[in-house]
Amino acid sequence: MSDLSELTNLLDRLDEAEIQYTLASVSEGAIVVGVDVPGEHWKVEFMDDGDIEVEIFKGDGQVFDYGIIEDLFELAEEDDDDD
């Protein structure tokens, strides 16, 4: 990554606001900051070419029983079949 200032600025702001986050490397040349706030999951991806993408996942507050976990595996299997 040519310029880490945006990444470190975001991390500093999250720390100051006492907002928990995770860091991950999900693809070559990218660092992802994951942030959960009530009802939302934010994914901020910093790429080595300088691009920054923000994706927001919003929940409707619906709660399911554990049986829904099978849907997770079915969705993952469908995605594998598409490859």
- H or E element that contains 25: none
This prediction's pTM? 0.77
What digits encode the pLDDT tens for the residues 18-66? 999 999 998 888 999 999 999 899 999 999 999 999 999 999 888 899 9
Whether the predicted pLDDT of 78 surpasses 70:
yes
Q: Which of 14, 4, 12, 10 is nearest to 50 (CA)?
A: 4
| Distance in angstroms (rounded) separating the CA atoms of residues 8 and 17 | 14
Number of domains forming the structure of the chain? 1
Paired with 57 in beta bridges are 41
Question: Containing domain of residue 77, as a range?
Answer: 5-82
| Distance in angstroms (rounded) separating the CA atoms of residues 46 and 48 | 7
